[in-house]
Structure 1
Amino acid sequence: MSGTSEGPTPAADLDRSAVTDSDPTPYHRVFAAAPLAMAVVNAEGLVVSANAAFGELLGAAPEALTGRPAADLVDLAADTRTRHAYREVLGGRQARLRCTRRLKHRDGTSVWAQVTVAPLADGAPGVLLSVTDVSAHRELQARLRHLQMHDPVTRLPNRTLFFERLSAALEAESYEQGGTGRIGLCYLDLDGFKAVNDTLGHRVGDRLLAAVAQRLTRVADEAGYARNGTPLVARLGGDEFALLVEDSTGTDQLSDLAGCALRALEEPFDLAGQRLSLTASIGVVERHAAGTTATGLMQAADTTLYWAKADGKARWTLFDPERNAHRMTRQALSSTLRPAIERGEFALEYQPLVGMEDGRLSGVEALVRWHHPQFGTLTPNRFIGLAEEDGSIVQLGRWALSTACRQARRWQLDHPGEPPIFVSVNVAVRQVWDSDLVADVDRILGESGLAPHLLQLELTESAVMGSAGRPLQALQALSDMGVRIAIDDFGTGYSNLAYLSRLPVSVLKLDGSFVRGFQYEEHQETATGTPPNPADEVIVEAMIQLAHRLGLTVTAECVETSAQATRLRRIGCDTGQGWLYSRPVPPDRISELLGVQTYAVGKP
């Protein structure tokens, strides 16, 4: 403790003449009988006189202390800072020193004492040293700190103490002095704990938390016994616990610890007549302490715990940098979707739809691309799901629909001698629910001048098959308007053709998984030596025949070889789409293809 300039204690008013044995003044008697332990110390730091309270505190007769170095008696030379301040007070260069020391009694007990050193009054030589027993105060402070740093339900270290220990472990001096220089964390959350509180009450919930804490403590103790270092178990709040491993030896150690914790919690809990079973999910992080922050470690642990929950609960999951990078990218994309639409970062490419019989270009599918300034050109599978989650799919879908219709009308005006081609635009279910799709389509068709029969809207099979209420009404109104409705990726969902008779659908688009089975010529074996399964063709042919009987046309997706095209044409497929004909291309490339009598397959 450093010296201070606080006001003088009452004992400091005693001058040196008042405490000498030869002066029978009342001051001498006060000094000798005072309950405050005091001693007069000369300029050399030696005790000149000590009162009875001082002797009692140190377990010695006052006379036996005379001539002894005061610094040794009350531990003033223990550290450089205090030693220097004490010398400054003895030399008259500093007004006062006050510090706290732990003093040992002769009987082996110890007390916490506040030591004050101040000059004697009236310029008398030497200083007055006084000692106050503050053990009770220190004990109270320790009890209050314990209460402040520990959870009252589980008696484990709480969030405050956990972060104090974590921050200390991440300081350079903690891991540079030796050890592995690594740190590990198991971040645990109880699965379904809220249901316990809601159904059985908080009293039972608290008992369950206390029982969980006991089992986790036992796991930590056993792990510490095996590895000479006991993990810190803490309750971070609610039903969240943490096991902190300083000087971890690697992911194997943390994985073992997490596994032991899960197994310990799998055993049923007997709580005052209630037999409860629960599981837990754990996020596991292990890394070098250097360069790691408490915030960064906890964020990684929280993310990994979320993965464990999302992957099915009742498990531990190890932090995966690649998975985390994907999550961060996903968050970055999600946060910039709406502004990107306003900044015009999206564009449409178009993939030809070709008649299987005549090879003529009959239509195109509009496919959106995001030209992201950081991640480059992104295909729909990277951002459509995000747009559906945050609702920006409505704004994006409206833009795509308007852009595609204007482009289709432009092709029609630029090539008046050619049969006009239709444009097919994907529509998300949320566009039907969260916007007035019928009004949007009617307005866009009117503004662009495109005839309704030249617009095709594609919805996924699972969305259309369950249509009822507002979605069904919207699809019917669009069909009545003359717009064609297509089911995209048909065959991957319900595949209920009978249900199609009650829907205003005009086109089925066969999912590419069916078409891939047509990749080889008849009797040609695959690279594995296995001939193609003839059942693929039987199934597709049956689907096409049933669709035709319902008055629907069929488009095959992912047509990549002439063998596929030949076999699809033979069984009656109407339209093909895929890399055999063209990849998705910019609008000007479609303009070049409009005058081609028979579509040039192969190169886009």
Structure 2
Amino acid sequence: MPRQSLAAETRRFTRRWAVALAEAVSPARQADDIERVLEPLVEDLVLAVRSDPLTRDAARDVGMALVEANFRNARSLNRTITLLGTGFVEELGELLGLDDEQLVASVAALQGAVAEGFSLALRSRMLRERHTTQAAALAAARASESRRRTSEARFRAVFAEASVGIAIVDPHGSVIEVNAALAEILDREDDACTGLPIADLIADDLPSKVRADLARLLAGETARFRTECARTGADGTLLRLDVTLSAVTGGDGEIDFLIGVVVDLSECRALEARLWHEARHDELTGLPNRKQFLERLTETEQLAGLCYVDLDGFKSFNDGLGHDTGDRLLIAVTKRLRDAADAEGVSIARLGGDEFVLLIEEDGTEADRVTHYAERTLDALAVPISIGTDEYSVTASIGVVHTAIAGASPAELMRAADISLQRAKALGRARWERYDPDRGAEEATKHELATAIPLALSRDEFVLDYQPMVTLPDPVVSGFEALVRWRHPQLGLLGPDRFIPLAEQTGHIVALGRWVLEQACAQARRWYDEFRDVPVVVSVNVAATQLREASFVADVLSALHAAGLPAGRLQLELTESAVAGDTSCALAALSELAAAGVNLAIDDFGTGYSNLAHLGRLPVHTLKIDRSFLSPIRPGGPTDPAHDKIVAATISLAHSLGLDVAAEGVETPAQVEALRVLHCDSAQGFLFGAPASADDATTLIAHRNATVDSA
């Protein structure tokens, strides 16, 4: 992502934060001044989120810095936490390089760390004030008579102005006097506190151990007492108080009085509780989130199994009707699922997006509770959901897994549930599928391959082979198609059929395709330098997912620029399905590339949804007819006049549209001869050469003027 985009959005977020804090503090401060304070803090937050794992210390330091900058009230913290959960995602979410699930988890952790740092710094500041208060009180009590009046005045000033609560207590534990801050904390008049036992003033009911510790202090056995206690305020709210009592003794060693310092922790504890709850619950639905679900999955001893629920086609629904309608649908689905799982020993969580999971415990019967609740879930979603005046039909696919089958490990259970869920999707959706260990092993291998693709890219495990493309009627090498292989450390050399479909399903095809493009352009540049007068083109396959990427055109032009390769030396091959249907976005991208000089080809023509009239509207240069067109042509075999006419008509019509025609899968001289008769422009297949290394391809280019023996 461009650095300037991140910098601009960072400044935008910093400004929003500064305005929010300017409204939260009293007396008011200028947003411009606050913005200068926040700029380095925002940089620290961005670095923390982009770290893997998230750098909690840096985020915690941001919370502490807010307190040191005198943003100490609850409104400042609340506005900061809220803005991190909304503005941070809106302004910077797409620029941080994280998927939705990673972003949600990182922001939640970020909020918690900032709040933790804020709480620690605020508590430290209060404790420093308390220490100052105690020091002043003790100094006043122990000062010599000649300085007593000065010390008393100093203590009185601290007593009156301190932001923490202070109580003076007699040797028997009764309150003599409280300052205004303590009266405000307790929401009582000063004189209503006088005479009360200190234990009754600070708590509703002290535990017996705490009462014993207080008794030892009053007996002179200890010099200091500290506890955190709970007290109901005058308005019924529960206060959390941090209380420290220190004994002040006279020259005879007897207690003259005690100084009590009280810090109100209520807001900090309430914030901690709220953040703890939010960290374990989904904000939209209120359900337990992935974190809490995994905790419960680990802790549950009598687990029967899981139902892994994924809504069918939710992404299209969300994209088509908008996220607001999508959120309302998810809330309605949550209610249906809660009703279906309304039983003891059955809990439900939202893992993210449109994924839910039911955790089902054993109930001591022989009944199959897991499949029972899978059926109940499907039944619950069978009735259309009303949103406003509209009704929507919703279906779900469910992966069912039993603990006894898949094993007790939470990781094994989740992997098994995901495998069975994907099978339910593949078999038509709107159904549940039970985990089968035998079938699961095969699916697990696919899953492991799919998830290993990013790491394999970083380890340079992928390599390119090159298959020659030749001109007709005289077969002379005109280029090479770049074909990717995976040198897997355990499974050996894997062909594209083993991993390309998986890459397309997971979206890894975008990064893999970008790598193939860059490597192929770099190799083509080496051929261009070595054989400047030989017009060799390198052809690269492009998946439909790549074509839909907003950065696709930029990726292609960047690869050409990095390699220094003329655009005319690159050909991109697209399948019919990639350009079928609504091609407005594809047409714009292809037109831009064609205008830049890149050659475009339709691959495997005859196996998809396109027709020649449709392709005539696209800026393509070449039509590559599928090998199935040539399979009926066998040496010495009977000809099929109808088939020959179809192939001839296809080639003729393509030529009339200004397209070159290339034949794939050419394996016999008879096929070459038939293609010559039909005026096919070029060919590719094992007859002319199998995919080979770049070195072997280089050797072939060096001998390109030699006629390839097709007899």
TM-score (norm 2): 0.46
The Cα shift of 1:200 comes to: 12
Distance change in 2, residues 1:401/1:427 (3 Å): farther
Structure 1 549/163 Cα, relative in aligned 2: closer, same or farther at 3 Å? closer
How do 1:368-387 and structure 2 match up within 5 A? 368-384=484-500
Report the CA distance between 1:442 and its aligned residue.
4.9
Q: Give the counterpart of 1:434 among 551, 559, 564.
A: 551
Q: Could you tell me whether the CA contact under 8 Å between 1:408 and 1:423 is conserved in 2?
A: no
**1-side partners of 2:527 and 2:446: how far apart?**
33
1:488 aligns with 2:606: no
The residue that corresponds to 1:187 in the other structure is 307
One of 526, 542, 546 as aligned partner of 2:653: 546
Give yes or no for contact 2:572–2:601 (8 Å, CA) kept in 1.
yes
Match of 2:265 in 1: none
Question: For the aligned residues, what is the CA RMSD?
Answer: 4.8
Distance 2:647 2:420 in 1: 43
Comparing 381-390 with 548-557, which one deviates more in the overlay? 381-390
Structure 1 residue 318 and structure 2 residue 434: aligned?
yes
Please report how far the alpha carbon of residue 280 of structure 1 lies from its aligned counterpart in structure 2 after TM superposition: 6.0
Verify the 8 A CA contact 1:262 1:279 in the aligned structure 2.
no
Deviation of 1:544 after TM superposition, in Å, equals 0.4
Work out the CA distance in 2 between the residues paired with 1:292 and 1:248.
Answer: 20
Residue 546 of structure 1 and its aligned partner are, at CA, apart by: 0.4
- Note if contact 2:371-2:400 (Cα within 8 Å) is conserved in structure 1: no
Structure 2 counterpart of 1:234: 346
Q: CA deviation at 1:481?
A: 4.5
Contact 1:188 1:282 (8 Å CA) reproduced: yes
* One-letter identity of the residue aligned with 1:167: E
Query: The residue matched to 1:508 in structure 2 has which SS?
Result: strand
Give the letter for the 2:690 counterpart: R
Q: Which residue of 2 aligns with 1:400?
A: 519
The reply to whether residue 425 of structure 1 matches residue 553 of structure 2 is: no
The 1:382/1:264 distance shift into structure 2, 3 A limit, reads closer
Cα deviation for residue 296 of structure 1 reads 2.7
Aligned partners of 1:355 and 1:576 also within 8 Å: yes
SS state at 2:670 partner? helix
SS at match of 2:623: strand
Sort the Cα spacing of 1:263 and 1:372 in 2 relative to 1 into closer, same or farther, 3 A.
closer
Gaps of 5+ in 1: 1-152, 170-183, 218-231, 525-532
Query: Cα–Cα, structure 1 residues 298 and 205, in superposed 2: closer, same or farther, change >3 Å?
Result: closer
Q: Residue type of the partner of 2:484? A: V
**Matched residue SS, 2:652:** helix
Query: C-alpha displacement at 1:479, in angstroms?
Result: 3.5
Residue 409 of structure 1: which of 523, 528, 534 is its match?
528
Deviation at 1:367, TM superposition (A): 1.4
Counterpart AA for 1:283: G
* Aligned partner of residue 433 in structure 1, secondary structure: coil
Alignment partner, residue 74 of structure 2: none
Q: Which residue of 2 aligns with 1:100?
A: none
Residue number in structure 1 paired with 2:408: 292
Deviation at 1:554, TM superposition (A): 0.7
Q: Specify whether residues 319 and 592 from structure 1 end up closer, same or farther in structure 2 by C-alpha distance, changes over 3 A only.
A: same
Pairwise CA distance, 1:585: 0.8
1:23 alignment partner in structure 2: none
Residues 1:167 and 2:272 are matched in the alignment: no
Q: Distance in 1 between matches of 2:557 and 2:392?
A: 55
Q: Does 1:511 align with 2:626?
A: yes
Question: SS where residue 487 of structure 1 aligns?
Answer: strand
Count matched residues.
396
Provide closer, same or farther for how the CA distance between residues 285 and 555 of structure 1 changes in structure 2, counting only shifts above 3 A: same
Residue type at the aligned position of 2:519: A
1:456 aligned partner, one-letter code: Q
Matched, 1:580 2:696: no
Partner AA of 2:346 in structure 1: A
What amino acid does structure 1 have at the position aligned with 2:301? S
Q: What amino acid is the match of 1:554?
A: V
Rg bigger for which structure? 1
State the AA in 1 paired with 2:413.
Answer: L
Is the Cα contact below 8 Å between 1:394 and 1:434 reproduced in 2? no
1:297 CA drift (Å): 3.0
Q: For 1:493-549, what per-residue CA distance to the aligned partner results, in whole angstroms no more than 9, with x for missing partners?
A: 34332233333322110122333343465427xxxxxxxx65433222211000111
- What runs of 5+ residues in structure 2 fail to find an aligned partner? 1-285, 287-291, 315-323, 351-355
- The letter for the 1-side match of 2:633 is F
Which of 499, 519, 536 is residue 614 of structure 2 equivalent to? 499
- Following superposition, the deviation at residue 270 of structure 1 comes to 14
2:328 aligns with one of 182, 198, 213: 198
Please give the alpha-carbon distance, in whole angstroms, between the structure 2 residues aligned to 1:346 and 1:200. 40
CA contact (8 A) 2:521 2:538 kept: no
**Structure 1 residues 313-352: aligned runs within 5 Å:** 313-321=429-437, 324-325=440-441, 328-352=444-468
Deviations 1:21-40 (A, max 9, x none): xxxxxxxxxxxxxxxxxxxx
Change (3 A) 1:342 1:297: closer
Of the two structures, which has the highest relative contact order with CA contacts closer than 8 Å and spacing of 6 or more?
1
Deviation string 1:328-357 (CA, Å, 9 cap, x unpaired) is 445544555445445433322111112342
Find 2:474's aligned residue among 358, 361, 366.
358
**Distance of aligned partners of 1:522 and 1:319 in 2 relative to their CA distance in 1, 3 Å threshold:** same
Distance 2:619 2:309 in 1: 49
CA distances 1:158-217 after superposition (whole Å, capped 9, x unpaired): 989986996257xxxxxxxxxxxxxx6362648689999937986x975x5576357xx7
Q: Tell whether 2:700 aligns with 1:599.
A: no
Q: Give the deviation of 1:582 after TM superposition.
A: 1.9
Asked if structure 1 preserves the Cα contact closer than 8 Å seen for 2:345 and 2:363, the reply is no
TM-score (norm 1): 0.53
**Maintained 8 Å contact 1:353/1:576:** yes
Would you say the 8 A contact 1:190–1:278 is kept in 2? Answer: no
Matches of 1:482 and 1:200, distance apart in 2: 47
Matched residues in 2 for 1:188 and 1:403: separation? 45
Alpha-carbon contact 2:347-2:360 (below 8 Å) kept: no
Counterpart secondary structure, 1:518: coil
* 1:421-452 deviation digits (Å, cap 9, x = unpaired): 3322234452673141463265256x35xx54
Select which of 396, 399, 417 maps to 1:301.
417
Q: Relative to structure 1, is the Cα distance of residues 292 and 397 closer, same or farther in structure 2, using a 3 angstrom cutoff?
A: same
Determine if the alignment matches structure 1 residue 463 to structure 2 residue 578: yes
